[in-house]
Amino acid sequence: MKKKIAYQFRIELVGIEPLIWRLIEVPSNYSFWDLHVAIQDSMGWLDYHLHLFSLLPPRKRKPILIGIPDDEYENNTLPGWDVPLLRYFKEPGDEASYEYDFGDGWQHRIVLEGILLQKVGFKYPNCSDGQRACPPEDCGSIPGYYNLIEVLSDTKHEEYEDMVLWLSNHAKNYHPYDPECFEPDKVKFWDPKKRWKLAFGN
C-alpha cells in the first residue's frame, strides 16, 4: 500500500512584531484552494475577501499567480482548485507569498518545512503549533492593528468604548480580544470542498 504524505507548512504574517505564525500539516494531494482554506482556518481569518498566492519557480522571470481568476479583467491568475500543491512545492524550503484581503493587504510567507508520512488514524489538516491571535478582519491593515492594540491597552482611551463596540458587533465577535492568545488544539478546519460550494456553488 502506498504511504500517504503530509506537507508541513509554516505560515508567517508579514509586518507585525511580535511574529504571528502557524504550523500546519495538510495532505500532499491538496490543491492551492485547499491550502487557502487551511490557512484561513488556522490563522483565524473569515475568508470573505479575495486571496492570491504568488510563487517564483527557478529560472522563471515572472511569478506564478494562483487564486480566484477574475473573468472581467484579463490576468494570468490560475484557479487554485485546479492547481495541485505538488506542482510547485517539491522539497523543504520551497516557499510562496499569500495575500489576503487586497484592501488591508495582509501578506503571509508560506514555507514548506517538511514532507512527512501521514500518521495512521490522525486527522488532516492539523494545526500543530503557532503563536498570537491574528488581527481582526477589516481593522485597517498593520497601522489599524497597532492602533487597536494601543486603544485596548487603555480603558480610559477616548476610543476605547467605540473599539469594544466595533469588536463586539463584528461578523465575528472578537471581544475580548487578546492579541497574545492562540491555542492550536482549538483550530477547526472546514472541508475545502464545502467551502468551495459555499463560495461558488449554484
pLDDT of 171 above 70:
yes
Summarised one tens digit per residue, pLDDT across range 5-15 is 999 999 999 99
What would the pLDDT profile of 112-144 be if each residue is shown by its tens digit? 999 999 998 899 999 999 999 999 999 999 999
Beta strands across the sheet bearing 95-100: 78-79, 64-67, 51-55, 95-100, 106-117, 5-13, 20-27, 126-131
CA atoms within 13 A on the CB side of 157: 15
pLDDT at 90: 94
CB 11 within 8 A of CB 42: yes
Q: Residue 162 pLDDT > 80, yes or no?
A: yes
Q: What is the pLDDT of residue 72?
A: 63
Q: How far apart are CA 115 and CA 162, in angstroms?
A: 46
pLDDT of residue 173: 85
Burial label for 103, CB within 10 Å (0-12, 13-18, 19+), is exposed
Instruction: Look at residue 2 and tell me whether its pLDDT is greater than 80.
Output: no
**Which domains are delineated in the chain?**
5-132+182-200 (3.10.290.30), 135-180 (no CATH)
Angle (CA) 29 31 34, round 5°: 105
Q: Model confidence over 177-202: pLDDT tens digits?
A: 999 999 999 999 999 999 999 988 76
pLDDT, residue 3, reads 83
What pLDDT digit, counting tens, does each position of 26-57 carry?
A: 999 999 999 999 999 999 999 999 999 999 88
pTM for the whole structure: 0.95
- What is the tens place of the pLDDT at every residue in 72-126? 665 789 999 999 999 999 999 999 999 999 999 999 999 999 999 999 889 999 9
